[in-house]
Structure formats: C-alpha cells, structure tokens
Amino acid sequence: MRENRRHAPETVERYLDSTLESVDNAEELAVGAAQRAGFEEDDLMKIGMAVRESMVNAVVHGNRYSAHKKVRFSVAHSANRFTIRIADEGDGFDFTALPDPLAPENLMQTSGRGIFLIRSFMDEVDMRHRDPRGTEVTLIKYMVSK
Amino acid sequence: MSVKLNSRQVGDVSVVDVAGRITLGEGSSALRDLMREMVGKGQKKILLNLGEVSYIDSSGIGELVSGFTTVTNSGGQLKLLNLNKRVKDLLQITKLYTVFDVHEDEAGAIRSFA
C-alpha cells in the first residue's frame, strides 16, 4: 500500500434504492474510498467485486428490486481496516447452508458464486440477520503497511 | 459502458468480439441472447474473444457457463480467447479455467475446432 498517498480516515453512509444502478454507485463509492485509503490496483479490484456481489445480493435477492426497500451502505476506513457494511430489508436467508460452487456437482451451475467470491476477496466477511428483518453483510479488508 | 458484441465469421467458426462489462443486467443478458441466437441458427463453432472485457462479475461468469452448456448440448463447441488477468483469475478461483478451452491467439483457437 502506498503510505504517502493514504488519506485521513473517512466514513461514507448512504441509503440506496434497490436498483442495479445502486450496485454501480456503491461499487464506485467503495473503490473511490479504498483508493483514497491507499489500496493498490489488485485490492481495489477485489474490494469492488466484493461490494458489487454483496450489493447484487441485497438488491436482487434481499429487497427483490422493491421500490419500498432500501439498502443501507456504509464504508469506514480506519488506521488498520477498511470496513464496508451492506444491509437489506429482505426476508433473510440461511447463509450457513449455501451450496459449494466448487463442488463437482455445482461447477456448471449458472449462479451461486457470489458469496464465494466475496469470501475469496475480503479478509473478513460477516453475515447476520437484522432485527426485525433483513440481512447485514460486513466486509473487511486489512490495511497492510509496506 | 455496458457490453458491445461484434460477430464475425472466420471460415466455419463464429467469432464474437466482446468488449466492456459483462455484469448482471444488460451486459450479461446481451451475451446470453446472442449465444442463444447463434445456437438457434445452428452455429456449432463459437469463439468468444474476451480481450476487451474490462469487467465481469459472477453473473457474467454464469452466462459463460450457461453458454458453454447450451452450445455443448447442441453438439457444438464454445471456446474462449484472450482472457485478461481479471477474467483468468476469476475462472481459476471458481475452478472453471480448465472447463473451458482457453486460447491466447486467434489463429490457434480457430485451428483447434474439430
């Protein structure tokens, strides 16, 4: 990471509509903040993809594109970690029982790789049910000094 | 930019030059529609040139898989050309890199079709 380009810690929070445009917006916000935080190209790509996949889950599967439901999106950058939180207002799902997209019987499925990619690209991923409804995903990328 | 698709014929191989973003929505559905159209027209040898693909998400990966299955089930072959690092890394992480026949030069890819 480029120490001399690191900016002061910042926090961004938005309530986004449940649209594919919001997916693009969230990705852009996250990558912009990550760039200002000093992440390099490879990590920017990973953060962007993890945010995109999480936002798609929130918009498409959680809120089902509902005009009445929002996605709460936040990015926080501190000294040692970059944290993104994405929360939908959907019915929730059992994220402990997801099929393994790498299993031979699933390899040729046309969907089901999103969460796997999120976990591959981020250092920590936490999913929890929100009260009274919805799912919140927390994505963390460590800020490693060189 | 969403996705731009340009089809051309090289002998009996249909080459699709894909440029832009293959993501959920317009990008992935455009690719899906084109491949279905090509299979519907009886095209058996399809080469996707992904050299100008700037971005692909899991939906885009899904469309590549769907296209592969559709073409294969119709008795044809679908191959990939010019993967950039991002696409290659994604296919490797998802263990799909060895499923597809991937090439780095068009002439060699064309010759490889049975």
Mean pLDDT of B23-33: 91
The ipTM assigned to this model is: 0.90
Cβ-based neighbour number of residue B108 at 10 Å: 10
Q: Is A60 in Cβ contact with B24 (below 8 Å)?
A: yes
Q: What pLDDT sits at residue A7?
A: 62
Q: Is the pLDDT of residue A2 over 50?
A: no
Q: Is the pLDDT of residue A1 over 80?
A: no
Is A103 strand, coil or helix? coil
Q: What pLDDT sits at residue B34?
A: 94
Residues of A in contact with B66 (CB under 8 A): 110
Chain-centre distance for alpha carbon A18: 15
Q: What pLDDT sits at residue A4?
A: 44
Domain residue limits, chain B:
3-106
Mean pLDDT of B30-38: 94
B58: nearest CB among A23, A53, A102: A53
CATH number for B3-106: choose from 3.30.750.24, 3.40.1160.10, 1.10.3470.10, 3.20.20.370. Answer: 3.30.750.24
Helices and strands counted in chain A (H then E): 3, 5
Q: What pLDDT sits at residue B39?
A: 95
Q: What angle do CA A22, B62, A134 make, to 5 degrees?
A: 40
Tally of domains in chain A: 1
Domain extent, residue A131, equals 3-142
Q: Is A52 in Cβ contact with B94 (below 8 Å)?
A: no
pLDDT grade, residue A146 (50/70/90)? Answer: low
B45-55 exposure pattern, b = at least 16 Cβ within 10 A, e = fewer? bbbbbbeebeb
Q: Is A45 in Cβ contact with B59 (below 8 Å)?
A: no
SS3 content of chain B, % helix, strand, coil (to 5): 40, 35, 25
Chain-centre distance for alpha carbon A3: 24
Mean pLDDT of B64-85: 96
Residue type, A135: T
Beta bridge partners of B9: B14
- Strand segments, DSSP code E, in A1-146 are 11-17, 70-77, 81-87, 124-129, 135-142
pLDDT grade, residue B2 (50/70/90)? Answer: confident
B25: nearest CB among A20, A53, A107: A20
Q: What pLDDT sits at residue A6?
A: 57
Q: Is A45 in Cβ contact with B58 (below 8 Å)?
A: no
| Cβ atoms of residues B50 and A45 within 8 Å | no
- CATH number at A55 reads 3.30.565.10
Q: What pLDDT sits at residue B1?
A: 57
pLDDT grade, residue A95 (50/70/90)? Answer: confident
